Structure 1
Amino acid sequence: MEDFIAVSPNSKEILNSAKLLQSVNIHALIFGEIGVGKKTLAKYIVPEARLFSPQELQKDIIDGVLSLNKESIIIDKIEHITNVDLLLSWIEENEIRVIATTEALSLNNKLNDIFSITLSIPPLSQREDDLKLLTQKFSNEASQVLRSEKIVPSKLMLNTSKNAHSLRKSIYFSYLFETIGEDEILMFLENYMLTNLKGENSYKDFVYLFEVPLLKAAKKKYKSQVQMAKHLGLNRITLRKKLDIHKELL
């Protein structure tokens, strides 16, 4: 079982609350964005509990195939439960303890009322020490799986838009990127465009694939728009227009 990474101060507080929940028989809800470690924390609280999706659990209850009594279960993404009354009745009749995860800001009132405590896990962007540790962990993992030399941290391309999910993927990509050259990059772009080529404005639709990474790299490398324009061979008005066009991606 994976450990819940808790090095940052806010993560340590969450883990301390989770430790208390190990010895208290109450329902608990774990809230957070995708990839923050909700299921990992739930399994930490009730290591032997069976994990259910809402659809699977509802079907099993309706089919009468569950023989659980006075046990704990984990329900992942409980916001997708469609028959709340059925679930609550089954929980009460069988004295089931529920540890649930959710990405939803609000739940059905009846459902929300059963939870005595809610643990909110912040995104990795607010857990700097956790991010460093996870980066090191995924880098070691990628090095072993891909049988590659360790990459220095400054060369890792880190994407935390989906927290640990996107972080792991971006680190693996960083290792793969070390082994490819221009020919492979052009091949990837060609295949992507070939798959998605349609309509009558394809050039305009795909030009961002070249311009956005170039502009992002220039922003990182040069200190001002004056320097960016000079080294990109653009006049400043053209540069500002391109920055404005792609501002949502930059």
Structure 2
Amino acid sequence: MQEYIAKDSISKEILNSAKLLQAVEVNALILGENGVGKKSLAKYILPRSEIYEAKNLQKDIADEVLILQNEAIIVDKINEITNIDLFLKWIDENSIRVIAISQTENLNQKIKDIFSINLEIPNLSKREEDTKALINKFSQEASSILDMPLIPQSKLIINISNNTHSLRKSIYFSYLFETIGEHEILMFLEKYISENLSGDNSYKDLSYIFEVPLLKASTKKYKSQVQVAKHLGLNRITLRKKLEIYKDLL
């Protein structure tokens, strides 16, 4: 599991709170969307503790197969606990400290009440310095694993739509793209199209696979619609129609 990156001021504040939680034995709730670093932060607080999926933990408690006392545990997806009274009774009777993780604040009030501290981790879109550090980390990781020289950052594909999950994937794709030529691209397209050919209007239905990346690349490179239309050999009316058709994908 990767370390919790804290280069932005908000992340440093969160890390300072996490350091406090290393010394103070209270229950804490870590909130945030997928890939923001919730598990990494939880493991920073409790480096020697197990991570339990909430549903599995609840089942083990109900089946009385879990023997823990005076322990600290990490509970992932705490919002998926359904037998709340059973869970609360178990942690109380066995003196269990809980560092919990959730994507949602919409928790049962009984669950909320056990936490003395809530830490909410923002998305990478709000953590510019953290993102830069993660880009560098994942780039070095990809270079080492794939046994390739480091790629300049200007050539990296950066996708933080799903935070670190999409960022790591996009950087690995960047390295793989360095080894892919026109033949491989056409081969991938052929495979995708072959698997998705259906109905009587496949040409129209699948033309976006070519047109969307062409429009995205052109608008990034040429900026103005006049220049885009000129270099694509389209009139501006046709270009505007295509931009409107694909606006959700651009």
Taking structure 2 as the reference length, the TM-score comes to 0.97
SS in structure 1 opposite 2:5?
Answer: coil
Secondary structure at 2:191's aligned position in 1?
helix
- Aligned-pair CA distance for 1:124: 0.8
Looking at structure 1, the residues matched to 218 and 6 of structure 2 have their Cα atoms a distance apart, in angstroms, of 35
Q: Which runs of 5+ in 2 are unaligned?
A: none
Residue 82 of structure 1 corresponds to 82
Give matches, 1:159-178, under 5 Å: 159-178=159-178
- In 1, the alpha carbon distance for the partners of 2:27 and 2:245 equals 49
| Greater than 6 Å deviation, 4+ residue runs | none
Look up the SS of the partner of 2:137 in the other structure. Answer: helix
1:7 and 2:1 aligned: no
Q: CA deviation at 1:223?
A: 2.2
Q: C-alpha deviations, 1:56-81, integer Å up to 9, x for none? A: 10111011111111111101111122
Aligned to 2:94: 94
Task: Quote the RMSD (CA, aligned, Å).
Answer: 1.1
Question: Would you say how many aligned residue pairs link Structure 1 and Structure 2?
Answer: 250
Alpha-carbon distance in 1 for matches of 2:145, 2:27: 38
Per-residue deviation, 1:96: 0.7
How do 1:90-169 residues align onto structure 2 when only pairs under 5 Å count?
Answer: 90-169=90-169
Question: What is the CA deviation profile of residues 191-219 of structure 1, one whole-angstrom value per residue up to 9, with x for unaligned ones?
Answer: 11222322333222211111111111011
Secondary structure of 2:51's match?
strand
| Mapping of residues 12-27 of structure 1, within 5 Å | 12-27=12-27
Q: Secondary structure of the equivalent of 2:23?
A: coil
Matches of 2:114 and 2:105 in 1, distance apart? Answer: 16
- The separation in 2 between residues aligned to 1:215 and 1:105, in whole angstroms, is 39
Which position in structure 2 is the counterpart of 1:218?
218
Pair 1:141–1:69, CA change in 2 (3 A): same
The one-letter code matched in structure 2 to 1:115 is F
Which residue of structure 1 aligns with residue 49 of structure 2?
49
Q: Which amino acid aligns with 2:157?
A: M
Whichever residue aligns with residue 108 of structure 1, its letter is: N
Q: Please say if 1:199 is aligned against 2:199.
A: yes
1:9, distance to aligned residue in structure 2 (A): 0.7
- Residue aligned with 2:3, SS: coil
Cα-to-partner distance string for 1:70-99 (whole Å, 9 max, x where unaligned): 111101111122211211111111111110
1:83–1:146 CA distance, 2 compared to 1 (3 A) = same
Cα distance in 1 for residues equivalent to 2:144 and 2:202: 40
Deviations 1:113-168 (A, max 9, x none): 21111101011111111111110111011011111111010000011111111111
